[in-house]
Amino acid sequence: MRSSVLKDPVLAKQAGQFAWLSIDTDKSINQAFNEKFALGGVPLFVVIDPASEKPVLSWYGTATAPQLSALLSDGARAIAGQTTGPEALLARADALNGQKKPAEAAALYDQALQNGGPEWPRRARTIESLVMAFYFARNMDACVKTAVGEAPSMRRDRSFVNTVYFGLDCSKQGAPELKELEALAEEGVKIPGVLGDDTSSLYQNLAGIYRREGDSAASARTATAWLEYLKKQIAQATTAEERLGYDLHLVSAAGMLGKPELALAEIERTERDLPNDYNPPRLAGQIYEDMGRLDDALAACGRAIDKAYGARKVSLYITRGRLLEKKDDNAGAKRAYADGLAYAKTLPEAVAKPLLPRLEQLAGTK
């Protein structure tokens, strides 16, 4: 999405209307921002009132350029106090959502939907916000019921795909609504013109749900279609950065099929094209490990460690330790965990604190 939507001319028209801030959530320098504004997932878009430093709108997940443009306008109007009727309810819900109060936000999103009626132009985006708010509030039943109740009458576009995605994500094994959600998802993955990230994520969710339900044939069929979809997207991508976004999914699809090697050539190609990015060697390491090529996995993991930073670098030290344990090199594994522990201690306390207990246990220091 960074390599496509955020470069769209539609957004460039609003260049002068905002201060544009890009936050790499992995970087320790952004810890204070993360604590204040982040919801725990990416991508996330936040409109912040500079006077109060409070978020007036936060949007988790992808969006098309026109949708993002409309969200920006919603945020700007909320700050200016220019909303009335259902838009005012929506603005209050968005603000609560940005303040990490998803349950309260959900109640107001619901009111906005009731108030706006079936022809309200912001209906689809409010339904998306509602299912996401239920998800973050861990109100899974309401999330599923909203998705099943609203999705069938929605236009078949990105909002539909995202609503069904969250409905599936919220569903429990054996839930009575599951068959209906699966049918909607089968429809959703075939909708043309939807962002590749969204279609791919829906494929992933659907294949995973089938597997969870024990339907291995449907899971394999879906994962195969997912893999083919990703290959097409990768072939059409115009930059290595755009390909990398799909590569992350490709490794998952190949893994779900039990054929990690299907993703290897593409990942090796991306590592050559993006020599400073830690993700290709990280993914290559994952593939090699799944293929049982532990020495190659260790080498790739080392290349990734050299380029990574923050909490991700710590997790790569843990991966190195695990790989060494698999090779029965327990002394080497301890050294890897100790290196990870030493690095973690250089990170800000808020980043390091959740990592330290496990690392200390692995390194044998506690």
Partner 1 sequence: MLWKLVLLFAVVPGRLPWIEDNYAKALAEARARHVPIFAEVWAPW
Options 4, 10, 33, 256; binder of partner 1; rule CB under 8 A: 33
Q: How far is CA 47 from the centre of its chain?
A: 19
Written as one string, the DSSP assignment of 163-229 is HHHHHHHHPPTT-TTHHHHHHHHHHHTT-TTS-HHHHHHHHHHHHHHHHHTT-HHHHHHHHHHHHHH
Task: Indicate whether 12 belongs to the interface with partner 1 (CB under 8 A).
Answer: yes
Round to whole Å and give the CA distance between 97 and 136.
Answer: 9
Binding segment (CB under 8 A) for partner 1, from list 7-15, 164-172, 189-197, 329-337: 7-15
Task: Indicate whether 46 belongs to the interface with partner 1 (CB under 8 A).
Answer: yes
Distance in Å, CB of 22 to partner 1, minimum: 5
Q: Which two tokens stand for residue 311?
A: 């909490």
Residue linked to tokens 């544009």: 20
Binding segment (CB under 8 A) for partner 1, from list 50-58, 117-125, 130-138, 257-265: 50-58
Task: Indicate whether 56 belongs to the interface with partner 1 (CB under 8 A).
Answer: yes
**Pick 219 or 319: Cβ nearer partner 1:** 319
Paired strand residues for 267: none
Task: Indicate whether 50 belongs to the interface with partner 1 (CB under 8 A).
Answer: yes
Options 203, 252, 277, 301; binder of partner 1; rule CB under 8 A: 277
Options 10, 25, 156, 240; binder of partner 1; rule CB under 8 A: 25
**Pick 46 or 151: Cβ nearer partner 1:** 46
Task: Indicate whether 53 belongs to the interface with partner 1 (CB under 8 A).
Answer: yes
Distance in Å, CB of 219 to partner 1, minimum: 24
**Pick 23 or 107: Cβ nearer partner 1:** 23
**Pick 41 or 176: Cβ nearer partner 1:** 41
**CA–CA distances in Å: residue 269 to residues 230, 244, 266:** 15, 10, 5
Task: Indicate whether 140 belongs to the interface with partner 1 (CB under 8 A).
Answer: no
**CA–CA distances in Å: residue 327 to residues 3, 157, 292:** 39, 49, 11
Residue linked to tokens 């808020």: 350
How many Å is the Cα radius of gyration of the chain? 22
End-to-end Cα spacing for the chain: 42
Task: Indicate whether 43 belongs to the interface with partner 1 (CB under 8 A).
Answer: yes
Q: Please state, as a whole number, how many other Cβ atoms lie within 10 Å of the Cβ of residue 186.
A: 15
User: Please, what's the b/e burial string for 256-266 (b: 16 or more CB within 10 A of its CB; e: otherwise)?
Assistant: bbebbebbbeb
Residues 6+ apart with CB under 8 A from 234: 243, 246, 247, 250, 266
Distance in Å, CB of 14 to partner 1, minimum: 8
Task: Indicate whether 18 belongs to the interface with partner 1 (CB under 8 A).
Answer: yes
Options 4, 47, 90, 285; binder of partner 1; rule CB under 8 A: 47
Binding segment (CB under 8 A) for partner 1, from list 18-26, 205-213, 293-301, 340-348: 18-26
Round to whole Å and give the CA distance between 48 and 182.
Answer: 37
**Pick 25 or 111: Cβ nearer partner 1:** 25
Task: Indicate whether 17 belongs to the interface with partner 1 (CB under 8 A).
Answer: yes
- Contact in structure between 311 and 355 (CB atoms under 8 Å): yes
Binding segment (CB under 8 A) for partner 1, from list 168-176, 260-268, 275-283, 354-362: 275-283
Task: Indicate whether 21 belongs to the interface with partner 1 (CB under 8 A).
Answer: yes
Binding site for partner 1 (CB under 8 A): 2, 6-7, 9, 11-12, 15-27, 29-30, 32-34, 37-38, 42-51, 53, 56, 72, 75-76, 79, 248, 277-279, 282, 312
